[in-house]
Amino acid sequence: MTGQALAVQQTPEPDVLYQDLRNYLKSYLKPIDLEMIDGAYACALDAHSEQTRISGEPYICHPVAVAKILAEMEMDKDTIAAALLHDVVEDTHVSRKQLVSQFGVSVADLVDGVTKLDGLPNYSKAETQAENVRKMVLAMSKDLRIIVLKLADRCHNMRTLSCLPLEKRRRIARETLEIYAPIAHRLSMNKIRHELENIGFQTLYPMRYRILKEAAQKAHGSHQEVLIALIQCIEQRLSANGLNCNVVGREKIPHSIYQKMRKGHIPFSEVFDVLGIRIVTDTVDECYRALGLVHGLYQPLPGYFKDYIALPKKNGYQSLHTIVLAGEYECRVEVQIRTRSMHRLAESGIAAHWNYKSEADSSRHSKTRANEWLQNILEIQKSAADSLEFLEHLKVDLFPDETYVFTPQGEIIKLPRGSTVIDFAYAVHTDIGNTCLSARIDKRLVPLQTVLYTGQTVEIITSSEACPVPPWLNYVVTARARAAIRAYLRDQKQDDAIQFGRRLLERELQKFGMKLDQINESTITTFLESMKYETLNDYLAAIGLGDRSAFIAANWLCQSDGEGMKLNVDEHSPSTVVIKGTEGMIVNLAKCCHPIPGDHIIGLFHRNKGIVVHLSNCKNALEARSHRAGWIDVEWDSLKEDDKEFPVELILSVRNRKGTLSQISTIISRLGCNIEHVNVETQDLELSRNTFIVTVKDRQHLAQLIRKLYRLQSVVKIRRRVG
């Protein structure tokens, strides 16, 4: 049920809440608009009259609160009315036909766009969620106000989340961080985005949130005097040069701090080594003049200047970013410079299209960007096999770091960081992607899997005989390219898939000096039985469609004994159930790096050992990856048995105190871990180096063990050996 979250504070009476909303609306809506909104409130109040939220407050409080959030963005009358009515079709007797009759088609369409699909037959919770997101995105393509309304609805639900059962709170918070906050970011609605991220982060990681918030408040207090002095100094320099700008300090929020620490692998102290200041001007010309004055006042740090005014972000965000060194205060200062319209656009995003009519250029720019993104998403959903695949592609698309490259004609193509030539080809056009053969980067011939970097000019070479192949899926980054490749492979006719799969298998067999018709029939039969395929053509079709690996099949069929590779059937071996992508071959976990479930892994093929699974950052794995020979992508099977355990090597630096080894052994035992090997080396009179090989279930179990060990006063440092 939409808006079923709980209120955490005593809420005023509905009429008092609505009067507060109405007073706010008077500031920018006409009296005739208020009459329609009064009617919408009366209709919603009557429809929800018998309903209460789980907290006991009248249900109507939720739609009024959602309408207030939209009013603060100065949305139009239809959106405000739809906010008051957004749950009546889903949760009451009111029909869409009644809404059309009373309030018009526009309001009814907005309500319909945020109404969830319930009672889907034979659908899991994940599929139902995916279908609802898909429905919302399709509705967004017709009217962008739908997503503004949905984000306001989600924002109030997050504000009133705390009294729900723990699992439901965590599920809603995770969904918000994975889908709705990124959508708000993608549409440049940063005010709502930051609130969604912070509440979601607080719900999923309450301890981390509390620690970071307390540390941030302490750091802000210690930096307050410096920040005030910096602002005054910058204001004086700008004013002396005839610029009337608004200069304010920027406060970092816990979720933003957490993301910077994770992405940069840096401690909290380094995040707060940078103070934040924002300068808001009247014109674009003043932005660049202010930038010059700031750089004249303080030394800019090389490599940290970004011009998002000349090259806006995908979501339409525009601003100048720079980091300068304030030597007299021994600190770095991050400065953002933007116009007032750019600032409003950064806060409200596409919502700015429905207000500030005098600044239509910037709001139209944001709406155009949003529509371009939505068209891209619509292409992806057409290619997706089902709603779950579409949701997967949508999540990939929502987390891009951008790379700017050029077509030969000088057109700028924006791609996520790490994108390859194939991603570029599909970004230009699906037909270009489906027929790309190779490419030239800055007039130099390169393979399709080449990673692109900002500033390069890319020319795609196509051929009518070229077509997507399964290995491309290993190289692409963008959801659009991945969806198009999968759609092409999926739509291939069975005969084409068989022929293509046969060519791929023959190519791998040639490396062993073999051909498919030279393989013993009994070996093929044994192989097909182990793979659970009835005929060879079925398996060849699976290779052609990218579902099976020609590399593994060739290695299996070409074993020197002529009887095929023996399968690993030892029931006590963890490798029989935990590794996907190995298709029944012998699987061993590498002893050099001891991978455990949850680690990023890679499979290396050995003729006598089968597939040996390494950590992806293991030295042996990195050497194999450098020439892309003999390795395959593998992953842990999520259906692993709970009682399986895996060895991992820990190196502990401990103080030489009596009973330390006993304390460590006790903790390891209490957590259900088994000690397989111990080696103690005395480094000096104070410290010793203890090497333990212990068994754990997965990375989470290992992290729990390490946290417990760190609580011992005698433990100085813990390191996991990874090769």
For residue 696, the tally of other CB atoms under 10 A from its CB is: 26
Alpha carbon dihedral 192, 195, 197, 198, in 10-degree steps, equals 170
Looking at per-residue pLDDT, the higher value among 7 and 28 belongs to 28
- Distances, alpha carbon 689 to alpha carbons 426, 683, 703, 716, 719, in Å: 53, 7, 20, 10, 11
Cα distance between residue 127 and residue 366, in whole Å: 31
Comparing 316 with 718, the larger pLDDT belongs to: 718
Between these two residues, 160 and 638, which has the higher pLDDT value?
160
| 472 neighbors 434 (Cβ within 8 angstroms) | no
Active-site residues, by number, are 90-91
Q: Using pLDDT thresholds of 50, 70 and 90, give the confidence band for residue 6.
A: very low
Give the range among 195-204, 340-349, 609-618, 632-641 with minimum mean pLDDT. 632-641
What are 407-448's pLDDT values in tens digits? 888 787 878 778 899 999 999 998 999 999 889 998 888 888
**Is the separation of the CB atoms in 647 and 694 below 8 Å?**
yes
Assigned token pair, 450 = 């080449």
For residue 381, name the pLDDT band (cuts at 50, 70, 90). Answer: low
Q: What is the pLDDT of residue 66?
A: 93
517 beta partners: none
The residue behind tokens 């899997």 is 449
Q: How many other C-beta atoms are found inside a 10 Å radius of the C-beta of residue 191?
A: 17
Region 584-593: mean pLDDT is: 75
Nearest to 603 by CA among 627, 573, 579, 637: 579
Q: Which of 232-246, 300-314, 582-596 has the lowest mean pLDDT?
A: 582-596
Say yes or no to pLDDT of 8 above 50.
no
Using CB atoms within 10 Å of the CB of residue 476, give its burial: 0 to 12 exposed, 13 to 18 middle, 19+ buried: buried
550-565 tens-digit pLDDT: 777 887 787 644 444 4
Q: What angle do CA 649, 650, 651 make, to 5 degrees?
A: 125
Q: Which two tokens stand for residue 389?
A: 């695949």
Spatial separation of the C-alpha atoms in residues 279 and 321, rounded to whole Å = 10
- Which segment of 152-156, 616-620, 637-641 scores lowest on mean pLDDT? 637-641
Least confident of 436-450, 613-627, 629-643: 629-643
Return the structure tokens found at 408.
């030969």
* Per-residue pLDDT at 256 exceeds 90: no
Structure confidence at residue 57 (pLDDT): 84
pLDDT confidence band for 255 (50 / 70 / 90) = confident
Q: Average pLDDT in the 584-595 region?
A: 77
Q: Are 721 and 683 in contact (CB under 8 A)?
A: no
* pLDDT at residue 35, rounded to an integer: 92
Q: What is the pLDDT of residue 293?
A: 94
**pLDDT over threshold 80, residue 77:** yes
**358: number of Cβ within 10 Å:** 8
Q: Kindly indicate the confidence band of residue 262, based on its pLDDT and cuts at 50, 70 and 90.
A: confident
Strand, helix or coil at 404?
A: strand
DSSP string, 120-136: -TT--HHHHHHHHHHHH
Nearest to 159 by CA among 8, 376, 50: 8
The SS3 of residue 676 is strand
Q: Is the pLDDT of residue 355 over 90?
A: no
Query: Could you tell me if 194 and 255 are in contact, meaning their C-beta atoms sit under 8 angstroms apart?
Result: yes
Average pLDDT, the chain: 79
**pLDDT at position 564:** 40
- Selection from 150, 156, 206 nearest residue 179 by Cα: 150
Q: How many helices (H) and strands (E) does the chain have?
A: 30, 21
- Percent of the chain past pLDDT 90, that is, above it, reads 19
pLDDT at 570 over 60: no
| Residue-wise DSSP of 210-227 | HHHHHHHHHHHHHHHHHH
CA quadruple 663, 668, 672, 674: dihedral positive or negative?
Answer: negative
- Alpha carbons 686 and 524: distance in angstroms, whole number: 63
pLDDT of the residue at 135? 67
7 or 350, which is more confident?
Answer: 350
**Model pLDDT, residue 571:** 36
